[in-house]
Structure 1
């Protein structure tokens, strides 16, 4: 684990799209072996804000699979109903609710091959959302594949997809960031932590920045706007506090803009 007084970080800004994952566990049980890769793939698409798994606790095999995904940080939503498509229906309702929320995703990653989701994908695309689909070969409905289009993949492609993205990102990673870029990442990480009810201590926020922003990975120093540089995360925080970008209270970080809105 990195000490928050040590090197700035190591990661990206790629597209600043907000990304949400929705998994139909009944239809894609093999995802339990690929959870960490799916999260990694999602982070290359933008900022991951939700990762939800829908399962039925009346089915022992789904419970076992959800336990593994929960360990990776997925939010697992139990729909213990014997009626057909009950979990699918809950997934669709939640996805549309998220689309109309205060922080809607720009990109939706749907893990299912079920044809019941054709209309959901159509609705998402009609609202300008990008949809990326993953499914198991034996459980894929052709209509779903067709409506997702070129952004459809089989789950067993995940290792190669992540490997190619990682190689491409590594080739482009800079050794430094501008001060404004670093502060932008810092503020976004604080907002993300607060939206999930997490603490905003320096160490946690630095690690969250590493998870959210690939351009931040590999960075050895930040170029400050006055021409100076610093290589410690605590120095970045101190500068952002001094400039009125964020607030530090009881070793927790807060966004000044959010303070004003809640006042």
Structure 2
């Protein structure tokens, strides 16, 4: 990180307080000092705020205040998303005031912050997310410049069972099982080095590109103390050396293994053809989740819109705030939501001309959609269901290719797990 980095720390307190015991054990408490140290490693903390209904956490207030964290009280009576909304408002206010912040550390795994992350990055801020593995939304993880898992920052706190006593002395506690599959990190490493066409590449540059491709990558997830140790452990696939400037660099070892790199692309084309035959337009792109979230937000704030008006409103938002998002992608997303029955339309025919188009009737969300992530998941499950029917079974769907179809890229094990979760939801509903 640059020496002059100025950090804004926003903490979604409820999200982390609930997620840590859920994943690490009911007896585990969040070590907020570790979170603060993470922010300090990024740069000087210019702003540090934690958002919650603090009447619910009277015992934790002293600890947070002792760390110099400003407590922002948001009454839970305002709804479960009240703290999220306040964080978004404060972050946007920070931008509008021209506060000289270069980095934002967002402590939350809530996918509802995805649109905020896109906005912050559009404004030139480097966004680092911090959440808990298994509970952090994939869309949020992939939107950040870097994403850190809290449970990999701290030593495992749950008591580990001891091994049987030998010679009258109990042995050390058994090591905890690592939940991250290193194969995804190796695939990512190979992808970066293959793009460099067998040239030597600096380790710092390798890690930079790996983080750009997968913001959740962290060598500590695989029990390596440093990136150097991670690379040294992959000598079966790469050469590592010190150059004349005593900098670590690496390149791939030549291999005779054949790879069918065209197969995934051919499969993706097949999936797109299936959807096109069903009149569902789709161009894989990484902005699709953010577009869906904006449809949800706009409809919640302006409930009397027709679908055409809603689409136009979403397009106007991105044209003003994120012009790099293509209008084609927004139009296609509107069609996807329409064809997957995510909307209900006003049935009062007396309100319209006899020949009015369905898209020109007032629209609302279906009752099963109460959050922006619900809308995305509902649409995605329906798209996967259509593919499964065309292929003969959802079990024939390639999860990696499905991730590329839905989210514009494939970024490792957690994205596969999310697609698997969607497919399992289809099986459970049968």
The TM-score with structure 1 as length reference comes to 0.51
Secondary structure of the structure 2 residue equivalent to 1:137: coil
What are the equivalent positions in structure 2 for 1:75-114 lying under 5 Å apart?
Answer: 75-82=70-77, 83-114=79-110
Residue of structure 1 equivalent to 2:121: 125
**CA shift for structure 1 position 164:** 6.2
Give me the whole-angstrom Cα distance separating, in 1, the residues matched to 2:93 and 2:16: 23
Residue of structure 1 equivalent to 2:326: none
**CA shift for structure 1 position 123:** 0.3
Give me the whole-angstrom Cα distance separating, in 2, the residues matched to 1:144 and 1:127: 17
**CA shift for structure 1 position 76:** 0.8
Residue of structure 2 equivalent to 1:3: none
Residue of structure 1 equivalent to 2:65: 70
2:131–2:149: 8 Å Cα contact kept in structure 1? yes
**For the pair shown, which has the larger CA radius of gyration, 1 or 2?**
2
CA RMSD in angstroms, aligned pairs only:
2.6
1:49 to 46, 50, 56: 46
2:148 to 116, 139, 153: 153
Give me the whole-angstrom Cα distance separating, in 2, the residues matched to 1:114 and 1:145: 10
CA separation of 1:100 and 1:32: change in aligned 2, threshold 3 A: farther
2:54–2:61: 8 Å Cα contact kept in structure 1? no
**CA shift for structure 1 position 102:** 4.2
1:54–1:87: 8 Å Cα contact kept in structure 2? yes
CA separation of 1:38 and 1:57: change in aligned 2, threshold 3 A: closer
Please, which runs of 5 or more residues in structure 2 have no aligned partner?
21-27, 156-219, 227-430
Residue of structure 1 equivalent to 2:36: 39
CA separation of 1:121 and 1:32: change in aligned 2, threshold 3 A: farther
Residue of structure 1 equivalent to 2:4: 16
Q: Which whole-Å deviations, capped at 9, do the CAs of 1:173-209 have from their partners, x for residues lacking one?
A: xxxxxxxxxxxxxxxxxxxxxxxxxxxxxxxxxxxxx
Give me the whole-angstrom Cα distance separating, in 2, the residues matched to 1:84 and 1:143: 20
CA separation of 1:102 and 1:122: change in aligned 2, threshold 3 A: closer
Give me the whole-angstrom Cα distance separating, in 1, the residues matched to 2:135 and 2:62: 22
The TM-score with structure 2 as length reference comes to 0.32
Give me the whole-angstrom Cα distance separating, in 2, the residues matched to 1:32 and 1:120: 28
1:53–1:66: 8 Å Cα contact kept in structure 2? no
Which structure carries more relative contact order (alpha carbon 8 Å, separation 6+)?
Answer: 1
Secondary structure of the structure 1 residue equivalent to 2:144: helix
CA separation of 1:142 and 1:102: change in aligned 2, threshold 3 A: closer
Give me the whole-angstrom Cα distance separating, in 1, the residues matched to 2:48 and 2:118: 21
Residue of structure 2 equivalent to 1:25: 13
Secondary structure of the structure 2 residue equivalent to 1:122: helix
Give me the whole-angstrom Cα distance separating, in 2, the residues matched to 1:45 and 1:164: 18
Residue of structure 2 equivalent to 1:139: 135
Give me the whole-angstrom Cα distance separating, in 2, the residues matched to 1:70 and 1:32: 17
**CA shift for structure 1 position 142:** 1.3
Aligned length: 149
Residue of structure 2 equivalent to 1:233: none
